[in-house]
C-alpha cells in the first residue's frame, strides 16, 4: 500500500483498495475521459469522510495535493466522477433512507442510495421524485443532486434543485455542516462563528453583496442552466440565506454531500400517454411552442428525432412496430398525470385539438400497447450501446438547451456540422418542452483523426449553442468536458464570481479539481479514451 492508503486504512472504518484492477475500473465513467485514481475508499460513515477530508487538507498544507472525488454509480457523462486522487465510492455503505414522513412526503436519505430504490420506496407511500426517470434511475441520489439532474417529468415539476430542502455536507477541511434556508437573524449567528463554516458564510455574504450586477445577469439565464454555480438563489430579498443552491449542481467541487433532504410529489400510477408524429420538424416545434403556453398541459414532453428512428430501423426494427411502417421526422411523447380522470381527458382533448392544427398523426395507445411505446421512448440507450465495428455512439455533444423558436434552425446547423466533420451516423433526442437536446455521433475514438475532429466539432457546436441564447449544460452540470466551454456562456465577471466561490469553499484545491473549472481543450486531450466502452454499466444497459 502507498503511504496515503496505509494511513487511511488505519484510521477509517471503511475499506481502502488500491489494486490495479480496482484503479482501472474507477478510471472511467460513462464519459469519453479516463483518469486513474490513487486509491478507492468505501466510507462507512460521515466520520470516515471527515477524516479523509481533514487528512487531504493537512497534506495540501504541506504542499502535497491529493484530490477527493465523490462517486456514485459512475453514470456521469461529463467526467465529473473521475479523479487522480481519492475516489469516495458512496453506494457501498451510505445507501439508506434515514427518514420518510408519509404525511408531508419529506424524505432524508444518504447520498449513495440508488435513485431506483428511493423511487420504489416513495411509490409505496404514494409519493414520487419527478426528476427520476428511466434515464437516470441507475444513478445515486448524491449524483443526481451534484449534477442537478432533470428527468422525464421535469417538464412539469422542474429539476431536482426544486426539491432539495437541505443537505449534510463535509467541507474541504473536514468540518460537517447542514444546509437549508436560514433567516437573517440565523445568518448573523453563522457570520459570527469562529470556524471554517463561519468563514465561508462571511466570505460568501460579502461576495453576494459585491456582485449584485453579475447576479442579476446570471438570474436572467434560462431556468435550465446547470453550468457554473447557482449563486443567484443563495440570498433572498428578505435577507434569508441558503448554501444549498451552490452544492446542487456543484459536482463535488465545494464539498462532499453525505445526506439529502427532499420534498416529493403525490404519485398517480394511473396516467395517460399521448403520442404525436410529425412529417415536418418545423411543424413539430411550432406545436411544442404552443403546448408550452397551456396552463394545464402534459407532465412530460419528450421527443425522438428521425435520425434515431433510422438507426433503430437498421439495427432493431422490431422496436418500431408501434409505428406500423411510418417514419415521421419527429415523434413527441406526452404523459398526462393529473389525479382526476376527468381532468386527464380534458387535457388530452385540448392537446389533440392543438396538435391537429399542426397536421400531427395522433396516437392514444390502449393500455396493452403502452409498454411498446414506452420501449420506443427509452430507445436512446439502445443506440448508445450499439457498435458499428470500432465505431460507437459517443456522448460528447450532449445536454445543450436551445430556445424552442431556434430548434428548427439548430437542426440545419447540426446537419451541416456533422457533414463537414464526416460524422454520417448520429442520433438526436431529448426533452422537447424545455429544449433539452442530446446528440451522439458514432465515431472511432481510437482513430487520431476522429479525436482531432471531435474537438473542432465540440468548439463549433457549443459556440453555436451560446450564439442563439442557449446553454451548454441543461439537464445536468458541465463537469470536465463542458467546463472548457463555460467562457462561451458566461462573461468574465461571472467566471470570476464562480472562481471566487470555488476558492471560498476549497482554498486548498482538493475537491474534485478540473471539474467546473476554467479548463481548456488542451487539458482534455491527454485524458480522452482511445476506446469508448461501457463495460461496467452493461449489467443494466440497454434500458429499453
State the 10-residue block means of pLDDT for the chain, 544 residues long.
93 97 96 97 98 98 98 94 98 98 97 96 96 82 96 94 98 99 98 98 98 86 82 95 98 99 96 97 97 96 97 93 94 96 96 97 91 93 82 88 95 96 94 95 91 92 94 91 90 94 98 90 91 75 57
**Residue 292, φ and ψ in degrees, nearest 5:** -65, -20
Report d(CA 43, CA 497) in Å as an integer. 33
Report d(CA 160, CA 261) in Å as an integer. 11
Question: What is the 3 state secondary structure string of 53-106?
Answer: HHHHHHHHHCCCCCCEEEECCCCCCCCCCCCCCEEEECCCCCCCEEEECCCCCC
Per-residue pLDDT, 541: 63
Neighbours of 272 (CB within 10 A): 20
Would residue 179 be called left, alpha or beta, if left means φ above 0 and alpha means ψ between -120 and 50 degrees? beta
- How many helices and strands in the chain, by DSSP H and E? 20, 20
Q: What is the pTM of this model?
A: 0.95
Beta strands in 420-503, from DSSP E residues, in sequence order: 426-431, 436-443
Fold of domain 3-92: 3.30.43
Check if the beta carbon of residue 157 is closer than 8 Å to that of residue 129.
no
Check if the beta carbon of residue 499 is closer than 8 Å to that of residue 519.
no
Helix, strand or coil, per DSSP, at residue 314: helix
Distance of CA 332 to the CA centre of its chain: 22
Per-residue pLDDT, 389: 79
Report d(CA 251, CA 271) in Å as an integer. 34
Report d(CA 303, CA 483) in Å as an integer. 27
Per-residue pLDDT, 542: 63
Report d(CA 256, CA 167) in Å as an integer. 10
Q: How far is CA 59 from CA 10, 67, 311, 374, in A?
A: 17, 10, 51, 51
Superfamily of domain 268-475: FAD-linked oxidases, C-terminal domain (3.40.462.10)
Check if the beta carbon of residue 259 is closer than 8 Å to that of residue 168.
yes
Report d(CA 440, CA 531) in Å as an integer. 15
Closest CA to 489 of 246, 229, 250, 228: 228
Domain boundaries along the sequence of the chain = 3-92, 97-266, 268-475
Q: Euclidean distance between the first and final Cα of the chain, in Å?
A: 42
Report d(CA 510, CA 483) in Å as an integer. 17
How deeply is 246 buried, as exposed, middle or buried, from its count of CB atoms within 10 A (0-12, 13-18, 19+)?
buried
Report d(CA 527, CA 483) in Å as an integer. 14
Closest CA to 404 of 360, 436, 450: 436
Buried b (16+ CB within 10 A) or exposed e, 46-60: bbbbbbbbbbbbebb
Top-tier CATH class for 97-266: alpha beta
Cα torsion through 302, 307, 312, 318, rounded to 10: 70
Amino acid at each position: 500500500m502507498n503511504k496515503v492508503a496505509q494511513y487511511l486504512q488505519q484510521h477509517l472504518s471503511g475499506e481502502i483498495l488500491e489494486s490495479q484492477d480496482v484503479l482501472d475500473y474507477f478510471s472511467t465513467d460513462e464519459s469519453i475521459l479516463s483518469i486513474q485514481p490513487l486509491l478507492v475508499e468505501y466510507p462507512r460513515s460521515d466520520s470516515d469522510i471527515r477524516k479523509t477530508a481533514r487528512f487531504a487538507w493537512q497534506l495540501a498544507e504541506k504542499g502535497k495535493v491529493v484530490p477527493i472525488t465523490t462517486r456514485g454509480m459512475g453514470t456521469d457523462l461529463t467526467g465529473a466522477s473521475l479523479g487522480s486522487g481519492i475516489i469516495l465510492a458512496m453506494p457501498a455503505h451510505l445507501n439508506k433512507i434515514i427518514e420518510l414522513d408519509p404525511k408531508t412526503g419529506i424524505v432524508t436519505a444518504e447520498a449513495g442510495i440508488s435513485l431506483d430504490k428511493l423511487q420504489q420506496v416513495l411509490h409505496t407511500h404514494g409519493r414520487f421524485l419527478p426528476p427520476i426517470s428511466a434515464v437516470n434511475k441507475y444513478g445515486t441520489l448524491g449524483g443526481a443532486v451534484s449534477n442537478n439532474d432533470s428527468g422525464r417529468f421535469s417538464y412539469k415539476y422542474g429539476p431536482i434543485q426544486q426539491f432539495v430542502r437541505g443537505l449534510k455536507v463535509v467541507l474541504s477541511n473536514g468540518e460537517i455542516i447542514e444546509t437549508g434556508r436560514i433567516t437573517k437573524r440565523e445568518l448573523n449567528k453563522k457570520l459570527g462563528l469562529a470556524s471554517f463554516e463561519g468563514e465561508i458564510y462571511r466570505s460568501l455574504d460579502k461576495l453576494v453583496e459585491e456582485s449584485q450586477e453579475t447576479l442579476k445577469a446570471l438570474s436572467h439565464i434560462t431556468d435550465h442552466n446547470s453550468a457554473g454555480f447557482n449563486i443567484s438563489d443563495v440570498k433572498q430579498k428578505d435577507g434569508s440565506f441558503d448554501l444549498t443552491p451552490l452544492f446542487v449542481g456543484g459536482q463535488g467541487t465545494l464539498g462532499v454531500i453525505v445526506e439529502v433532504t427532499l420534498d416529493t410529489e403525490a404519485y398517480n400510477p394511473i396516467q395517460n400517454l399521448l403520442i404525436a408524429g410529425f412529417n415536418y420538424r418545423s411543424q413539430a416545434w411550432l406545436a411544442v411552442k404552443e403546448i408550452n403556453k397551456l396552463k394545464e398541459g402534459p407532465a412530460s414532453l419528450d421527443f425522438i428525432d428521425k435520425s434515431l428512428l433510422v438507426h433503430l430501423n437498421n439495427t432493431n426494427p422490431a422496436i418500431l412496430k408501434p409505428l406500423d411502417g411510418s417514419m415521421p421526422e419527429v415523434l413527441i411523447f406526452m404523459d398526462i398525470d393529473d389525479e382526476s380522470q376527468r381532468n386527464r381527458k380534458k387535457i388530452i382533448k385540448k392537446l389533440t385539438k392543438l396538435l391537429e392544427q399542426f397536421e400531427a398523426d395522433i396516437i392514444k395507445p390502449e393500455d396493452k400497447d403502452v409498454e411498446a411505446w414506452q420501449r420506443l421512448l427509452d430507445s436512446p440507450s439502445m443506440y448508445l450501446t450499439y457498435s458499428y465495428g470500432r465505431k460507437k455512439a459517443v456522448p460528447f455533444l450532449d445536454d445543450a438547451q436551445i430556445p424552442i423558436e431556434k430548434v428548427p434552425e439548430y437542426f440545419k446547423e447540426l446537419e451541416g456540422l456533422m457533414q463537414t466533420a464526416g460524422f454520417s451516423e448520429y442520433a438526436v433526442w431529448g426533452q422537447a418542452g424545455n429544449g433539452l437536446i442530446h446528440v451522439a455521433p458514432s465515431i472511432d475514438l481510437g482513430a487520431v483523426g476522429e479525436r482531432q475532429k471531435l474537438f473542432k466539432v465540440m468548439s463549433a457546436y457549443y459556440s453555436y449553442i451560446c450564439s442563439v441564447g442557449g446553454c451548454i449544460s441543461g439537464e445536468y452540470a458541465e463537469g470536465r468536458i463542458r467546463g472548457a466551454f463555460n467562457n462561451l456562456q458566461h462573461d468574465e465577471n461571472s467566471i470570476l464570481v464562480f472562481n471566487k466561490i470555488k476558492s471560498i469553499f476549497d482554498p486548498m484545491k482538493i475537491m474534485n479539481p478540473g471539474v467546473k473549472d476554467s479548463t481548456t481543450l488542451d487539458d482534455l486531450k491527454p485524458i480522452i479514451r482511445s476506446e469508448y466502452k461501457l463495460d461496467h454499466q452493461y449489467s443494466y444497459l440497454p434500458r429499453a
